[in-house]
Amino acid sequence: MTQSMKTIDLTLKTPHQNLAFDEALLELCEEGWNHEILRFWEPQDYFVVLGYSNKMSREVNKDSCLKHHVPILRRASGGGTVLQGPGCLNFTLVLKTSRFGDSKSITTTNHAIMECHRGALESILDRTVTIRGITDLTLDGYKFCGNAQRRKTNFLLFHGTFLLNMNLPRIEELLAFPSKAPAYRKNRSHLDFLTNLKIPASKIKHVLKTKWRATENFVEIPQDRIDKLVKEKYSLENWSSKF
């Protein structure tokens, strides 16, 4: 790669803004801002995020969310429903589709990115990290990172969450058993399936920046795009509950 990747470590004030930020970065690149980007953000409050096609009634314990005042949002990428909150580290990659050759396959792209991250995590954990399911990273069969992808013509968005010190019982309380679960899960509950890495976020940030050669700071925050997406999509009830 002849051009270095831009990187930004920025958590915006609201969950809606943070989800909109990811989509705004993809839009920005697709419309001609010809750079790749690596972003990090760490939520300070709990909120549920549905995958694009997930049904709220099937994936979420809505009564528990209401009881604990946990908002339910929806992202623009696929994948399953997750609980965000303190103890999570999120990353966002906006990559050129041409990076992966002639293949337009989501599966091929997933594998290339996941293999990169698998090796990066092994280097700091000194343990065997395995790719399981479609885009899960696991230790001894326990999931610590899930990911999702959204593609446009020239750029794609690949983002995911590392569990570092997340409140796993809270996940059990607020999320239903997923409608689509990988075979390796073996019907295990969230508590019996997930694990925390219990390492500083700084270690993962450093190794991913190194792997992706993300050496230049991203400073051009597309605030107008973010605000527009929040107003017209992410803050709307008919977006969150569309399925």
What is the pLDDT at residue 103? Answer: 61
C-beta separation of 238 from 27 below 8 A = no
Instruction: Report the predicted TM-score, pTM, of the whole model to 2 decimal places.
Output: 0.95
Nearest to 23 by CA among 191, 227, 242: 227
* Bridge partners, residue 40, by sequence: 9, 91
CA distances from 18 to 6, 49, 138, 176 (A): 18, 11, 26, 24
Quote the mean pLDDT of the chain. 95
The CATH number for 24's domain is 3.30.930.10
* Distant-in-sequence, close-in-space partners of 121: CB < 8 Å, separation ≥ 6: 129, 137, 145, 204, 207
What is the pLDDT at residue 102? Answer: 64
- Supply 225's token pair: 């795009």
C-beta separation of 52 from 22 below 8 A = no
- The tally of domains found in the chain comes to 1
The three-class DSSP label of residue 7 is strand
Residue 31 burial (10 A CB sphere; 0-12, 13-18, 19+): exposed
What is the pLDDT at residue 2? Answer: 45
Give CA–CA dist 160/93, Å, rounded: 9
CA angle, 37 as apex, 156 and 103 as ends, to 5°? 30
| Sign of the torsion angle spanned by Cα atoms 134, 52, 241, 37 | positive
C-beta separation of 215 from 4 below 8 A = yes
Residue numbers of the chain with a pLDDT score lower than 70 = 1-3, 102-104
Task: Give the structural domain span for 163.
Answer: 5-240
Q: In this predicted model, what pLDDT tens digit does every residue of 23-39 receive, in sequence order?
A: 999 999 999 998 999 99
C-beta separation of 200 from 128 below 8 A = no
What is the gyration radius of the CA atoms in the chain, in angstroms? 17
What is the pLDDT at residue 107? Answer: 86
- Supply 108's token pair: 């091929």
Residue tagged 């605030």 (tokens): 223
Q: What spatial distance separates the first Cα and last Cα of the chain, rounded to whole Å?
A: 40
